[in-house]
Structure 1
Amino acid sequence: MKILTTASVAALTLAFASEAIATEWNVSLWGKRRAFTEHVEKLAELVAERSGGDFTMSISYGGLSNNTENLDGISIGAFEMAQFCAGYHRDKNRAITVLELPFLGVENLDQEVAVSHAIYDHPAVTEEMAKWNARMLMTSPMPQYNLVGTGDPRVTVDSFEGMRVRATGGIGSMFESVGAVPTSVTSSEAYNAMESGVVDSVAFAQHAHLSFGTLDIADWWTENLNPGTVNCPVVVNIDAYEALSDEHRAILDEAVDDSIDYYLENYADLLEGWEATLSEKGVEKVTVAADEIVKLSDGAQPIHQAWIEEANANGLPGQELYDLVQAEILKAKGQ
């Protein structure tokens, strides 16, 4: 019979303790690895590195859930972390849709990060996300959207009349206000919708036009329409977050800023090569005249007011959230 010595008991105890504190999180994304997901990839890398391998993340691109059901998966604890876009289910995340209003005036990704995180920290957002057992972790900052399309370029307000466009959230509302016909097919469905003629154009940020193939079948791209963007947070399951050890929770929280910084650097590289990409794929870069953009921007104001009124009707501090966005934009611009 084998006799356990004090030393061997101590070794076994240490081994069991080490095993007990090891944590692996499942992370639900979609599509494929791309600029839009690089901060999540970096977060997983940093968390594993800084925890000595005791806290790891297994990232799945569509294997755990589809993109429109990630928030539902978080709510039932099907996985610990997920990315989602507000426009996919506006009724579930009304408060953050203020960030998707058209022509807010955000000019770059740094401003997008600052404004998004200010809204994420608002008690109304925290409370609404808690209904889904979700805690905001970080944003997925994207540049202003622009259109790719087939056929003749659409560069005037009049030319948008009847245009079938893949556009969600406030951008979709803006196009609808000038006679276009928006549809909210998911990003993964956009290529097929465009190829089959279900839509004439698609509104995306640059990385998505590349990742989802819409640039491959486009004839033109608007370089300066810049009507707004969508907001896609990364959230964690509250129970999983609170179950982390103090050390692992601190590692996760502290890795967020570094992950965002990495994302911004990576996206800057993508933008730097954008002109060459357009040329390579034979896509014409078209410019929308300033007076046409003014028409669109002026027409966006009723959409802003309607959002405030709808938010108030749903028990949210609509005006307060809207004013916070405006104040944070000015602050981010140093004004």
Structure 2
Amino acid sequence: MNLAAKLTITALCASFATSAMATEWNASVWGKRRAFTEHIEKLAELVAEKSGGEFTINVSYGGLSKNTENLDGISIGAFEMAQFCAGYHADKNRAITVLELPFLGVNTLAEEVAVSNAVYAHPAVAEEMAQWNAKMLMTSPMPQYNLVGTGEPRDALAKFDGMRVRATGGIGKAFSAVGGVPTSVTSSEAYQAMQSGVVDTVAFAQHAHLSFGTINEADWWTANLNPGTVNCPVVVNIDAYEALSDEERKILDESVPEAIDYYLENYGKLLEQWESVLAEKGVQKVMIADGELAAFKEKAGAPLHKAWIEEMSAQGLPAQELYDLLNTTLDNSRK
């Protein structure tokens, strides 16, 4: 065999060995790339960069699973990473629904990260997620939700009575407490539901009003209703995580804070542009009076918190402990 042939065989063997050693993950998200998914995109970028391309994460927007079935996909190992929102299947992730209670008083994305991280680290959360072969990796912090709607602005509590609203989780329960009629159509279906009149209003964070087009149907937007937000973790399949090499696991774990920092910076830019978006699309900015806000909070705040603690405690979860942890973390984050 001549030298050229030997070199070719050697190169091929090296190539096959490299391919065999490379780790490739799939991450299931939905919609399209937007502020809500930038930390996942950044994480994939960091992991590939730090591993020299030997550990890659392919981010799929709806190609692997429905958003409401991502946790199921993780449980059977259909993919290694996924994003989901607690309100999509509250019975499967009861412990973290404490983060979706209305009127918690979380004011900033940084505070949202702090309380989410604290709750995710609680043993009860890890135990419940393990039932789905899932491990919490990072949160997807979102600002307080607000409504967009058509027709006359819903600027008083009395006008929420009978209002058909796209809202999930604790936000949906908050509107129910004041006579609203929540529907849990997925985020991808919200625009069509609004356009066809299935709902009168849609509760989203700013990025979602943009990404899913609801802002294009809106006549008005509530600037200060702030009933709460949804909590949407990114999880990994436990088997896949444990199959990583020590170096790969270190790269993944250490890249999470960097990815979150990038997310916060990017989302901050979107919030700065929001006012100009409203002006450009001719959407009226509605400010709810302080008295109306206080009445909303009185009906949908503490009573729903108490009900959640009682219900989850009856199911064997350390509900009061989770609730207190959230509030203690929030207080400490402000110090």
- How far, CA to CA, are the matches of 1:290 and 1:62 in structure 2? 41
**What are the within-5 Å matches in structure 2 for residues 106-255 of structure 1?**
106-255=106-255
Instruction: Give the letter aligned to residue 58 of structure 2.
Output: S
Secondary structure (helix, strand or coil) at the match of 1:82 reads strand
The Cα of 1:21 is off from its aligned counterpart by: 2.1
The residue type equivalent to 2:53 in the other structure is G
- Give 3-state SS (helix, strand or coil) of 1:262's partner: helix
Aligned-partner Cα distance in 1 for 2:269–2:6:
57
SS at match of 2:228: coil
The Cα shift of 1:10 comes to 8.1
Question: What does residue 260 of structure 1 align with?
Answer: 260
CA shift digits 1:22-62 (9 cap, x unpaired)? 00101100000000000000000000000000000111100
Q: Report the CA distance between 1:195 and its aligned residue.
A: 0.5
Tell me the amino acid that sits aligned with residue 139 of structure 1.
T
Post-superposition offset of 1:332: 1.2
Gaps of 5+ in 2: none
Q: C-alpha offsets along residues 234-292 of structure 1, whole Å, 9 cap, x if unaligned?
A: 00000000000000100000000000000000001101110000011110000001111
Q: C-alpha separation between the residues in 2 aligned to 1:196 and 1:123?
A: 44
Partner of 1:23: 23
Percentage of identical aligned residues:
71
Amino acid of the structure 2 residue aligned with 1:168:
T
The one-letter amino acid of 1:205's match is A
Residue 14 of structure 1, CA deviation? 5.3
Confirm whether residue 329 of structure 1 aligns to residue 335 of structure 2: no
Q: TM-score, normalised by structure 1?
A: 0.96
Alpha-carbon distance between aligned partners in 1 of 2:178 and 2:58, rounded to the nearest angstrom? 44
Q: Which residue of 1 aligns with 2:52?
A: 52
Q: Residues 71-110 of structure 1 correspond to what in structure 2 (within 5 A)?
A: 71-110=71-110
How far did residue 13 of structure 1 move?
A: 6.7
Cα displacement (A) at 1:16? 4.8
Aligned Cα root-mean-square deviation (Å): 1.8
Deviation at 1:20, TM superposition (A): 2.8
Quote the Cα distance in structure 2 between the aligned partners of 1:164 and 1:71: 28
In structure 2, the partner of 1:319 is: 320
Structure 1 position 296, deviation (Å): 1.3
DSSP 3-state at the match of 1:56 = strand
Please show how residues 303-314 of structure 1 align to structure 2 within 5 Å: 303-314=304-315
SS in 2 for 1:126: helix
Query: Residue 277 of structure 2 aligns to which amino acid in structure 1?
Result: T
**1: distance between equivalents of 2:54 and 2:139?**
25
Spell out, residue by residue over 1:180-213, the C-alpha distance to the aligned partner (whole angstroms, 9 max, x if none): 1111111001001111111000000000000000
Q: CA deviation at 1:313?
A: 1.4
Whole-angstrom distance in 1 between the partners of 2:187 and 2:240: 29
SS at 2:232 equivalent: coil
Q: How far apart, in 2, do the equivalents of 1:160 and 1:308 lie?
A: 26
Give distance in 2, aligned partners of 1:80 and 1:125.
Answer: 19
> Cα deviations across residues 109-156 of structure 1 (Å, max 9, x unaligned)?
000000001000000000000000000000000000000001100111
Alignment of 1:249-288 (within 5 A): 249-288=249-288
Aligned counterparts of 2:192 and 2:257: Cα–Cα separation in 1: 36
Distance 1:227 1:239 in 2: 37
Partners of 2:328 and 2:303 in 1: CA distance: 19
Within-5 A mapping of 1:30-41: 30-41=30-41
**3-state SS of 1:104 partner:** coil
The letter for the 2-side match of 1:169 is G
Unaligned 5+ residue runs, structure 1? none
CA deviation after TM superposition for structure 1 residue 2, in Å:
7.4
Partner of 1:291: 291
Query: Which range moved further: 89-98 or 295-304?
Result: 295-304
Q: Per the alignment, in what secondary structure is the counterpart of residue 135 of structure 1?
A: strand
TM-fit CA distance, 1:333: 1.3
